[in-house]
Amino acid sequence: MSTHNEVAHAWANQTGRHRKGFSMFYEGTIIYSWGHHFPIARIVETEEGPVVLMTTEGYSVSTAKHITYTRRAVQHMKVFDVPGVRDIDWGLHNARNYVERIVDRLEKAKRARKYGDMHLREAQDLIAQAQEYIRLFKVEGFESFNWEPDAIVEGVREAAAIRAEAENRARIEREAENRRIRREEVWPEVKNWLRGQKQTIATRYYTTRPLPRIIEDRVETTWGASVPLEVAKSLYWLAVKCRREHREFVPTKTIQAGDFRLSSIKPNGDLVVGCHDIPFWFMRYAACRNNIPAIQPQGVPA
């Protein structure tokens, strides 16, 4: 088994197709730390000779050592520090990442009291590396990019504002389309379900709150729960009373509603049973459709 230094140098010089250490190995042009999930670097042939794409991704202490060995082995080659190592089709992603890092350094240089010059030098080094990367890999979209530091920051802010505006427009359009779908497609389906027609699979997922209906001797909700009708009547009459008296009801002892427990009744009559928060007016609608009175008849047990 080779040492990690030997693996790095064998890879850098492409002396063989495979070379492996304890936790570092390479296959062809890519060198890995611990496994195929973490490529450290890749050698890429270009029109001007081989260059190295070195990862900027986060890593453990041991992987950091592997990267150090690898970087030492390619001191004689042109190195680009980029997040996308495995696939050179990441060209555009890598170029944008360069710009993000440049802006980060420039912003730090403006804020820094002590290390401003260092951050500025780092930004300038990244600018030179980014320009070379874009030229060498012919990354489209940066032909007219202004690489002056102030222009980079301003350009990124401007692009971010344009992107935010476009995302906001898209969000508004999505919300409008969702409202249209709910109004024209979903709500008619829900109304048919509330009137007793057969429920489709989708209905349960389209109501933000559970809505009830009465089928024979049970009450069902759009969320798939059901309770005996006699139990539901008692809760409904209690909800009417709470609404008329504008007071909340919180049981001091367990009140079962089928397989669930009554949590509370709100002052507006909404019923909270388990995770179900059932609107009063939909309970009222179901009761009226089935000729259930709003007041508990005398002689009917609660």
pLDDT digits (tens, 9 = 90+) for 240-298: 999 999 999 999 888 888 888 899 999 999 999 988 899 999 999 999 999 999 887 77
Instruction: Say if residue 153's pLDDT is above 80.
Output: no
Instruction: Say if residue 179's pLDDT is above 70.
Output: yes
Interacting residues of 279 by C-beta distance below 8 A, sequence separation 6+: 209, 211, 270
| pLDDT band of 53, cuts 50, 70, 90 | very high
Q: Which residue has the higher pLDDT, 270 or 223?
A: 270
* Ordered DSSP codes for 137-202: TT-TT-TT---SHHHHHHHHHHHHHHHHHHHHHHHHHHHHHHHHHIIIIIHHHHHHHHTTPPPPGG
Among 6-15, 19-28, 156-165, 280-289, top mean pLDDT goes to 280-289
Q: What pLDDT does residue 42 have?
A: 94
What is the residue-averaged pLDDT of the chain?
Answer: 86
Instruction: Say if residue 110's pLDDT is above 90.
Output: no
Q: What pLDDT does residue 120 have?
A: 84
Q: What pLDDT does residue 190 have?
A: 87
Q: Which residue has the higher pLDDT, 146 or 302?
A: 146
* Phi-psi group of 45: left, alpha or beta (phi > 0 → left; psi -120 to 50 → alpha; rest → beta): beta
| pLDDT band of 222, cuts 50, 70, 90 | confident
Q: In what order do the strands lie in the sheet with 24-27?
A: 18-20, 24-27, 30-33, 39-46, 49-55, 78-82
pTM of the model: 0.53
Average pLDDT estimate for 160-169: 84
Chain CA centroid to CA 129, Å: 32
Give the closest residue to 172 by CA, choosing from 160, 184, 180, 183.
180
Model confidence pLDDT, tens digit, residues 224-237: 888 999 999 999 99
Instruction: Say if residue 162's pLDDT is above 60.
Output: yes
The CA distance from 179 to 185, in Å, is 10
221 beta partners = 212
The CA distance from 64 to 76, in Å, is 20
Average pLDDT estimate for 129-158: 83
Average pLDDT estimate for 9-15: 89
Average pLDDT estimate for 27-31: 91
Q: Which residue has the higher pLDDT, 198 or 284?
A: 284
Find out whether 32 and 25 touch, Cβ atoms under 8 Å.
yes
* % of the chain surpassing 90 pLDDT: 42
Q: What pLDDT does residue 296 have?
A: 79
Q: What pLDDT does residue 200 have?
A: 58
Instruction: Say if residue 201's pLDDT is above 60.
Output: no
* Ordered DSSP codes for 241-269: HHHHHT--B--SS--EETTEEEEEE-TT-
Among 106-120, 146-160, 272-286, top mean pLDDT goes to 272-286
Model confidence pLDDT, tens digit, residues 71-104: 999 999 999 999 988 776 678 889 989 988 988 8
Average pLDDT estimate for 119-132: 89
Instruction: Say if residue 203's pLDDT is above 80.
Output: no
